[in-house]
Homo-oligomer: A and B are copies of this chain.
Amino acid sequence: MASSAAACSDDEKANWVLNAPRLSGPWRESVEFSGEESQKDIVMLHGSPKHFKQSTTTDASSEEHMLDLEKNSSSVDRSQWVLNGPEPPGLWHELMDSVRETISYCGSKYSSLKSQPMLKSVVSVQREIFPILVWGRNYSISKFKHDLMAGLTIASLCIPQSIGYATLAKLDPQYGLYTSVVPPLIYAIMGTSREIAIGPVAVVSLLLPSMLQKLQDPGADPIAYTKLVLTATFFTGIFQASFGIFRLGFLVDFLSHAAIIGFVAGAAIIIGLQQLKGLLGITHFPNSTDVISVMEAVWSSFHHPWNPHNFMLGCSFLCFILISRFVGRKNRKLFWLPAMAPLLSVILSTLIVYLTRADKHGIKIVKHIKEGLNPSSVHLLQLNSPYIGDVAKVGLIVALVALTEAIAVGKSFSSIKGYHINGNKEMMSMGFMNIVGSLTSCYVATGSFSRTAVNFSAGCETPVSNIVMAITVIISLQFLTRLLYFTPIAILASIILSALPGLINVNEIYNIWKVDKLDFLASIGAFFGVLFASVEIGLLVAVAISFTKIILISIRPGTETLGKLPGTDMFCDTEQYPMAVTVPGIMIVRVKSALFCFANANFVRERIVRWITANKAKGLKGNNTKDAIQIVILDMSNLINIDTSGIATLDDLQRNLLSEGIELAIANPRWQVIHKLKLSNFVGKIGGRVFVTVAEAVAATFSGKIATTC
């Protein structure tokens, strides 16, 4: 076609703008439009708008002829832009680029350091690693007042929660308190978030035993189990720190928002069910965490004689905590009430049990909590145990889940206060605090959502609130553990239970349902996976659904026909824009995916061929050969890439169309796509019919058609 157009004299071509005979309304508009446009282009090149006005008012055909000549050459030029563009970077180059970008951050730091004297550069590296050196210089007594208040508030919430979470993690209660000492101190020095409250959290405390008790039953050998937990904590720290150092923060992104919401909601219910053990005072509780086995255990416990005192005590204090929270929410000034309620409950209930000696009547109590500060646990790490591979896997999963929670928490509060937290730096500090934690008898710590919210509303200013909290916990560990002897376990259960509703975000799940049904599926998949199978399976299901969704959307073999938006040069989906007008005799198709590949190419080809056949049959029936399709324009603007199967299918399509006397043109191919089409000589096969835009392809078609009929 291109060659036949070239064979025609330019005079004849010049007429096509005005005399296009077979065209209906919308098409005429577009032809005139592109004609005007190219005239204007030339005017732009010549520089003066005055000239433009002259040229449009003069009707002299010689001028028009000249213009059209230039127009034509300029349109050819634009096709050349597509065809003779620079080569895209190869696979190796792209890989190196992404590596370079990853390290460029450090690189730019390094280069800026080189220009500084030695001492100064050491100082700035130190500042980079320890943000406390930056914010510490402006620290004031007024800030400290806020931090002290916030620190004491979160400490009062933290002490009972830590003991409860340690029980959930099937560790001795003091491990929860240990974990609220060392990691917060290290985070306060290294972390970039000002609000985050570090310590043990519910989801991680559930995740650890659910994966580790398969390797070592905590009931049978608590010390061996504790060793495993500390080793897993060590690995968690190593993984988190290396994510930060190697800038692999994107790994955290692989747990999608929807999946996390569903997973956390499921985990909250599982955690709640685990609390039934403490609340009902059940002795025999299953190791597996799924709903069915827990409900069976609860059911069978009712058949045995059971002690309702535990339940009544727990429930009444649960009501107290919930009411205090309700009051705190109604009256902003009483924000400390919901934060203090757990500690108040602990003190009150412990007093009641101590005075009534209710532990002799079936109330289960915490009993002995080991006194004193964190002992060293270096000797407890088992890096040459036979389970080392499994423990490392547990460490990896826990590292990802813990980071996801911490970064989500950190981000949501930093964005309220309007500052950025650096994801990779956060990972490094979290990793370092867990490594040191694993050496000082702490299990995995991360940012707790409930305590961070309390910290924020208590008006914390800097990570000093974490230091205050840690010191408070140290004091409790040194002097107050004996007072906790009579604390009823049911109270710890009710404190954990009271924190759970915040984890089940029904609103967000409803939003996800409203916006994205497949995301909802991932969410619900994670939820039911956690509930009815196990915690890991829930995570696996969520990740699997998320990635399946990506594959489905990417290769979904959809196509859309394009029409011209009235008044513009744009061709858009006729379904999205009902006002778009299709051009008779031309079929403009866009593939609704980013890849034209083995999995969808054939489907697209078959659909186009079917449409052509249907159109032909209709044309034969109606005897209007005018509307018969003469060219198929494939809009490639949203194809990021094409593979060899896709190119082979395009070859097929071109041959199929040729046998029907229809030509194929492509518009707006992207960089990789046009490169591959050139390499595989497909551009030659379609006679170089490659255009920058659909509009130019349409215009070229009509000019070509007239050339062949002249």
Contacts and interface: CB of A to CB of B under 8 A. Distances in A.
A22 B551 CA distance: 46
A554 B511 CA distance: 25
A61 to B, nearest CB: 16
Given A40-B33, A515-B647, A575-B671, A553 B692 contact: no
A641 B81 contact: no
Contact of A41 (B74, B557, B568, B676): B568
DSSP majority for the A interface? helix
Nearest to A606: B423
Interface in A577-623: 577-579, 592-595, 597-603, 606, 609
Size class of the A contact interface (CB-based, 8 Å): 35 or more
Given A420-B656, A516-B644, A637-B638, A250 B602 contact: yes
A637 B636 CA distance: 11
A256 B645 contact: yes
A166 to B, nearest CB: 32
Taken together, the copies of this chain in the complex come to: 2
Contacts of A644: 256-258, 511-512, 515-516, 519
A32 B57 CA distance: 18
A474 B592 CA distance: 52
Given A56-B53, A550-B599, A595-B553, A91 B637 contact: no
A707 to B, nearest CB: 23
Contacts of A85: 576-578
Contact of A645 (B36, B257, B565, B606): B257
A318 interface: no
A29 interface: yes
A467 B284 CA distance: 75
A86 B692 CA distance: 29
A516 B655 CA distance: 23
Given A570-B693, A595-B553, A670-B576, A91 B518 contact: yes
Contacts of A420: 609, 656
Interface in A49-64: 49, 53, 56-57
Interface in A227-262: 250, 253-259
Contact of A519 (B44, B250, B643): B643
Contacts of A56: 53, 56-57
Contacts of A258: 598, 643-645
B680 A511 contact: yes
A551 to B, nearest CB: 6
A418 interface: yes
Interface in A332-359: none
A600 B547 CA distance: 12
Nearest to A253: B602
Nearest to A578: B86
Given A420-B609, A644-B258, A253 B598 contact: yes
A53 B58 CA distance: 10
A309 interface: no
A69 B547 CA distance: 49
A403 to B, nearest CB: 13
B41 A599 contact: no
A38 B568 CA distance: 8
A517 interface: yes
A454 B44 CA distance: 62
Interface string A554-573: 11010000000111111011
A573 B601 CA distance: 25
A411 B652 contact: yes
A88 interface: yes
A638 B592 CA distance: 9
Given A411-B652, A420-B656, A553-B594, 8 more contacts: A37-B37, A81-B577, A91-B517, A546-B597, A554-B554, A569-B569, A575-B671, A592-B640
Interface of A: 29, 32-33, 36-38, 40-41, 44-45, 49, 53, 56-57, 74, 78, 81, 85-86, 88, 90-91, 250, 253-259, 411, 415, 418, 420, 423, 511-512, 514-519, 546-547, 549-551, 553-555, 557, 565-570, 572-573, 575-579, 592-595, 597-603, 606, 609, 637-638, 640-645, 647-648, 652, 655-656, 659, 670-671, 676, 679-680, 692-693
Q: Which 4 A-B pairs have the closest CB atoms?
A: A594-B594, A256-B598, A41-B567, A638-B638
